[in-house]
Structure formats: C-alpha cells, structure tokens
Structure 1
C-alpha cells in the first residue's frame, strides 16, 4: 500500500505549529483534555498525509516536474 503525500508547504507548517501548541497546552493543564486533539494535526503535518484530504481530493503539495 502506497500512500501519496497530500500535505505540503504552509499547510504542513500550520498543522505542526497548531498541533504542537495544543499538545503543549494540554500537557501544562492550560486547556482541558480536548487539547490532545492536537495530536491529529501534528501527525498529519509530520507525515505529510491527511486522510480527509484524500477523501476530498485535495492536495497542497507542490508537483515536482
């Protein structure tokens, strides 16, 4: 099974930053346990794959020629 990357550029950086911020806030107790939802954008940013993008046919990666 070959999963194609569909998250790139500014989208990737935003996911990593927002995800890391939410997880950090959950760890410090600044926000409730719902902050652990930050694991999702963090993982999709780090692995460059978003299952929802695959279903919707969205791709923010630049095409290499």
Structure 2
C-alpha cells in the first residue's frame, strides 16, 4: 500500500470524525443516520492513520506530496 493522502487531508478527516462522534454523543444525531455516520467516522480515522484511501486509488487522486 502506497500512501496517497497528504497531511491536510488526514487532519481534516480526523476533525470530521471527532465532530461526528461529538454530535452522536450529545444526541444531536441518532438512529440509523447516527450509526452510518459513526461507521464513516471510523473509516475516516482508519484511513487517516494508514495514510491510504482506496477510493483515491480508484479515482486516481493523490494528495500526498511524497513520490
């Protein structure tokens, strides 16, 4: 797996995941939508830690500055 995510992309994904988790914890989002968003938040955190997004590979996107 070759890195295809840059630093800003990774930070934004983690911030979005934190916001989703906070909104779910407060009860602002709940039910099926809340569970689906929590799954997306988990995927965001996972892809941020490994610096690889499979969808970026499919669409030919590379935000990583390394070659």
Do the structures match in fold with TM over 0.5?
A: yes
- More contact order relative to length (CA 8 Å, sep ≥ 6): 2
Q: Equivalents in 2 of 1:62, 1:56: separation in Å?
A: 17
SS in 2 for 1:30: coil
Structure 1: which 5+ residue stretches go unaligned? none
Alignment partner of 1:9 out of 7, 10, 25: 7
Trace 1:13-24 onto structure 2 (pairs within 5 A): 13-24=11-22
TM (norm. structure 2) is: 0.74
The alignment yields a C-alpha RMSD, in angstroms, of 1.6
Higher helix share: 2
Trace 1:31-46 onto structure 2 (pairs within 5 A): 31-32=29-30, 33=34, 34-36=36-38, 37-46=40-49
SS in 2 for 1:62: coil
Structure 2: which 5+ residue stretches go unaligned? none
